[in-house]
Amino acid sequence: MKRGQGSTQMTLHMMKVLLSLMAALSFGSLMVLVAVL
């Protein structure tokens, strides 16, 4: 039974996706700020 491991890998994948999304959002807002300034 590798159900727990699978769920753990899925959680890690979701966290990676969320982190990359947040990084992209913060980077985009930073570029907008620079463009405005």
Tell me the Cα Rg of the chain: 16
How many whole angstroms separate alpha carbon 19 and alpha carbon 12? 10
Domain that holds residue 28: 1-37
pLDDT at 7: 86
Domain count, the chain: 1
DSSP letter string over the chain? Answer: --HHHHHHHHHHHHHHHHHHHHHHHHHHHHHHHHHH-
Predicted local confidence at residue 1, as pLDDT: 52
| pTM flag (> 0.75) | no
Per residue in 1-37, pLDDT tens?
566 677 889 999 999 999 999 999 999 999 999 999 8
